[in-house]
Amino acid sequence: MFTEVAQPPAYTVISYIDLSFNRLRGAVPSPSFLSASYLDYSNNEFSSMLPSDFLTLYGTAPSINLANNQLGGTIPYAECDQFHYEEKGGEALRDLDLSGNNFSGQVPPYVLRGCNNALRVLNLRGNRLEGTWPQEMDGTCRLEAVDLHGNQIRGRLPRWLANCKELNGLDVGGNNFVDSFPSWLGNLPHLRVLILRSNQFYGPVKTVRKNHSRSAYFSSLQIIDLAENGFTGVLPPGLFYSLKTMAQASTVHKVREVTVIGEQGDTDIHQEPRTPVEVAMKHQYMRMLEDQQLDLVLIDLSNNRFSGSIPRMVGNLTALHVLNLSHNAFTGEIPAELGHLSQVESLDLSWNHLTGEIPQSMASLTALEWLNLSYNDLRGSIPSGTQFSTFPSSSHQGSAAIACAQWRIC
């Protein structure tokens, strides 16, 4: 494991530089090359601020990864006419990963679009960035994945994101956004991951807007996480009708687990830079990489103020692995159609106002590993079935009528 890097000879072109997962300290070294296609200094101990000319020096590398260091200060600003790509034999920046550092201040407009609007992947997760997200952007948007999770960015989501036709992942969780549900993103044909958790989004989740085809509205969505916001109102059944990818397991794209943060600690698998997204599953947090190896289909609407009944259309989402509707104000009975969720592994309906009996159809959920129906107003007996017999009584505690019927605890 290296702790320092000597200045290498001056090369005209180096295609691939990977010094990741060492213990390199101090300032990020200045380049001694004119062009590189891949630069990875991630998972080291580089500190201090990036030099003001950093993006000018390194800007001809299409992929830059400085994730998980101790870098601070503001992200340097650069003008595109400073780079002179043709003279240096380089290309415009496409992938930029500055996650897991201590950057502060606002995100420069350059970083959001790249030169010639070439930026595809932007990962600024886990910094201390603040201010608002610029509401205007000129030119064509080519962004495919954006991760701003865990900063202090405020204001509204920029409406120009609706023009990013190649966008397949957007994670703005853990910020201070104040906005209504972005139904205007529903026309993006490739959007698979939408994470808005832990912000101040508010109001109802609306279904199809004008200029949207009902069958195409969020049709590629694979992960939707709206937890810990201020959403209200009744869930529209049409939303679940539109989630075509969640209804057909064969259409699910693959994602690879990179980090699982749980009782066993962190396990990291180094991969070429892509944008991670964070999702809650079985009380663990997982960082995923798009287009890799692990299938996951997830809906997390927990810790909001949704009301009314749970739409029966949810039962059509047969590719679903995780469904979390806990800590809301849902009423009525648990839909028997939930028994159709043959792939579901984690189901949490706790802390609502659900009534009636647990549907016997749910006994057929043989993939179920985690169940929480506690603190509702359920009654009757527990369905007979292999999986239900393995769950502890805590999975439905707080429902006195169930305890009375099952164990004569009245």
Parallel/antiparallel/unpaired status of strands 284-290 and 276-281: antiparallel
Query: 222 pLDDT exceeds 80?
Result: yes
C-alpha 347/C-alpha 343 separation (Å) is 11
Percent of the chain with pLDDT over 90: 53
**What's the pLDDT at 283?**
47
Average pLDDT, the chain: 82
More confident residue, 397 or 101: 101
For residue 312, tell me if it sits in a domain.
yes
For residue 41, tell me if it sits in a domain.
no
| Residue 290 pLDDT class (50, 70, 90 cuts) | very low
| Residue 309 pLDDT class (50, 70, 90 cuts) | very high
Q: Which residue has the tokens 């969020």?
A: 218
CB hemisphere CA count around 398 (13 angstroms): 16
User: Encoding tokens for residue 208?
Assistant: 């199809």
Percent of the chain with pLDDT over 70: 73
More confident residue, 109 or 262: 109
Among the ranges given (157-171, 200-214, 262-276, 390-404), the one the predictor scored with the smallest mean pLDDT: 262-276
Strand order in the sheet with 128-129: 25-26, 45-49, 70-74, 102-105, 128-129
Burial 332-353 (b: 16+ CB within 10 A, else e): eebbebbbbbebbbbbbbbbbe
| Residue 353 pLDDT class (50, 70, 90 cuts) | very high
**What's the pLDDT at 398?**
79
| Residue 14 pLDDT class (50, 70, 90 cuts) | confident
| Residue 372 pLDDT class (50, 70, 90 cuts) | very high
The amino acid occupying position 381 is: S
| Residue 324 pLDDT class (50, 70, 90 cuts) | very high
pTM exceeding 0.85: yes
C-alpha 331/C-alpha 377 separation (Å) is 9
For residue 248, tell me if it sits in a domain.
yes
Mean pLDDT of 37-42: 88
What single string gives the DSSP state of each residue in 74-109?
EPPP--GGGT-HHHHT-----EEE--SSEEEEPPPH
Q: Which residue has the tokens 């997760």?
A: 125
Per-residue CA distances from 252 to 98, 165, 179, 299 (Å): 29, 19, 29, 14
Query: 86 pLDDT exceeds 50?
Result: no
Query: 350 pLDDT exceeds 80?
Result: yes
**What's the pLDDT at 389?**
79
For residue 255, tell me if it sits in a domain.
yes
CB 376 within 8 A of CB 355: yes
- Number of domains observed in the structure of the chain: 1
For residue 4, tell me if it sits in a domain.
no
**What's the pLDDT at 264?**
32
Per-residue CA distances from 401 to 97, 231, 356, 409 (Å): 53, 30, 10, 9
Q: What CATH code is carried by the domain that includes residue 187?
A: 3.80.10.10
**What's the pLDDT at 13?**
65
**What's the pLDDT at 408?**
43
Among the ranges given (98-107, 229-238, 251-260), the one the predictor scored with the smallest mean pLDDT: 251-260
Residue-wise pLDDT tens digits, 162-217:
999 999 999 999 999 999 999 999 999 999 999 999 999 999 998 765 555 566 78
**What's the pLDDT at 41?**
92
**What's the pLDDT at 397?**
84
Helix or strand (DSSP H, E) at 54: helix 54-58
Query: 276 pLDDT exceeds 90?
Result: no
Among the ranges given (3-12, 27-36, 265-274), the one the predictor scored with the smallest mean pLDDT: 265-274
Query: 85 pLDDT exceeds 60?
Result: no
389 exposure class (CB count in 10 Å sphere: 0-12, 13-18, 19+) = exposed
Query: 273 pLDDT exceeds 60?
Result: no
DSSP conformation class of 57: H
C-alpha 339/C-alpha 224 separation (Å) is 21
Query: 90 pLDDT exceeds 80?
Result: no
Query: 94 pLDDT exceeds 80?
Result: yes
**What's the pLDDT at 28?**
87
Host domain of residue 323: 113-407
**What's the pLDDT at 215?**
62
For residue 54, tell me if it sits in a domain.
no
User: Encoding tokens for residue 152?
Assistant: 């202090």
